[in-house]
Structure 1
Amino acid sequence: MEVPMYKLYAQPGWGSTLVEAQAAWYGLALTIEDVGNLFKSAEARTHLAKVNPLAQVPTLVLPDGRILTESVAITLHFADTAPADRSLVPMAPGAERDTVLRWLVFLVANIYPTFTIGDDTSRWLSDKGAQKELADAMNAYRQRLWTQVESAAGDGPWFLGARFSALDVFVTIMTRWTPRRAWFAASTPKLSAIAQRGDAVPELAAVWRRNFPG
């Protein structure tokens, strides 16, 4: 029987890592095409725009050729077909599923845009002083948002408690980004502990090596 093959347009360490890690957890057959720095390379943006007009990662080509974007949509797509004991999203209605859905959407709807806006403020503003002011504001706002996530995390070992979920994958990856791990260790100890445990999940070791070498 032919194994269904997914294709992921990616860039190491970027948001595509959220999808790459989940595909590894589920043992999915995945080919990866790294597209390059989409902020700096017009060629990379033009190439990816042929598949995803927004020229953003993650962009996933499903085995039947359809295109799926948006990390939460892909997370739910994977979970829908996963065995119940491996699913990173609780499928039964209830508190655990509600928690995962709420905070996954919070991460991508509130925290993720602070990177879109703040990582390269020259895309939005020409004045150097205004660029720095916007970047600083986004960094401060991001930290306030993370403290809200910290307040919702359980007492461990994972966000939901005993159950490993997509939230733990997202936290492990996104704490690698600004304000980075030292800030999380000092300011959000629960999230820091989740991230350290996530680093040690055997099924994800190769993904971490590829995306966060060293």
Structure 2
Amino acid sequence: MADSVLYGTPGWGSALVEAQLDFYCLPYRFETVGNLFTDAAARERLITANPLAQVPTLVLPDGQVLTESAAITLWLAGNTGRDDLVPATGAPEQAAFLRWLVYLVANIYPTFTYADDPARFVSTEAARAPFKAAIKAYRERLWSIVEDASGAPWFLGERFSALDLYVCVMHHWSPRGDWFAMHAPKLNAIALRAKALEPLRGVWSRNFPDA
């Protein structure tokens, strides 16, 4: 049987799924897409599988396409029959896990959609700098809410989960590690702890080699 194919770009949102595939020891092939903001050919290559031309895009061995990292997170847990990254139905941590998984992808993740390529949303060059500054401030406020809700040593307390992988990946993005160390120390500690997990060292080095 063919392996799944994960379309992504090192350091981008595909790292969220790549980390889970490695954690579960699932076979897959990583297909590097390129910079979807600047490379029209990269967008054309991906658009056949995902009309939004976004990563992560996971093509299953039977040809079905999965997009949206939260959907892939839940699908992988369900189809492996494992609950080490996603609390099972009835688990005491399940409600908090689902709440904060959707919070991350519905609130914080879209700030990168807006700020990474503001020309898609703001027509004049002069307006783009204040637009990006406003998004950055809003993103930091969103992260502060997550910091207040975070447990220790992992986001859900003693229970490791995919939320910790999200925190680790997104810790590399704006506002980046120095901001987290100063303003979100619990999240910063989670990111560093997840980065040190032996089964994930390969995925972190592939995606964030200079971190």
Shorter-chain TM-score bucket reads over 0.9
> Of 135, 142, 145, which residue of structure 2 is paired with 1:145?
142
Write the deviation string for residues 55-93 of structure 1: whole angstroms up to 9, x where unpaired: 000000012110000000000011113354x53001132
TM-score (norm 1): 0.95
Aligned mates of 2:85, 2:140 — CA distance in 1: 26
Write the deviation string for residues 145-193 of structure 1: whole angstroms up to 9, x where unpaired: 0000011111x11111111100000000001000000000000010000
In structure 2, what is the equivalent of residue 27 of structure 1? Answer: 25
Aligned mates of 2:4, 2:96 — CA distance in 1: 28
1:92 and 2:89 correspond: yes
The structural deviation recorded for 1:121 is 1.0
> Of 45, 58, 75, which residue of structure 2 is paired with 1:47?
45
Aligned mates of 2:52, 2:69 — CA distance in 1: 14
Aligned mates of 2:52, 2:181 — CA distance in 1: 34
The structural deviation recorded for 1:125 is 2.2
Q: What is the one-letter code of the residue matched to 2:93?
A: E
Write the deviation string for residues 180-209 of structure 1: whole angstroms up to 9, x where unpaired: 000000000100000000110111100001
Q: What is the one-letter code of the residue matched to 2:19?
A: A
Q: What is the one-letter code of the residue matched to 1:54?
A: L
In structure 1, what is the equivalent of residue 68 of structure 2? Answer: 70
In structure 2, what is the equivalent of residue 201 of structure 1? Answer: 197
195-204 vs 122-131, greater mean Cα deviation: 122-131
Q: Percent identity?
A: 55
The CA RMSD measured in Å over matched residues stands at 1.2
Q: What is the one-letter code of the residue matched to 1:159?
A: F
Partner SS, residue 66 of structure 2: strand
Gaps of 5+ in 2: none
In structure 1, what is the equivalent of residue 34 of structure 2? Answer: 36
Partner SS, residue 95 of structure 1: coil
Partner SS, residue 76 of structure 1: helix
1:106 and 2:100 correspond: no
Aligned mates of 1:64, 1:91 — CA distance in 2: 26
In structure 2, what is the equivalent of residue 189 of structure 1? Answer: 185
Q: What is the one-letter code of the residue matched to 1:19?
A: V
Partner SS, residue 68 of structure 1: strand
The structural deviation recorded for 1:95 is 3.4
> Of 12, 15, 18, which residue of structure 1 is paired with 2:16?
18
Gaps of 5+ in 1: none
> Of 131, 134, 158, which residue of structure 1 is paired with 2:131?
134
TM-score (norm 2): 0.96
Aligned mates of 1:87, 1:73 — CA distance in 2: 17
Aligned mates of 2:141, 2:53 — CA distance in 1: 29
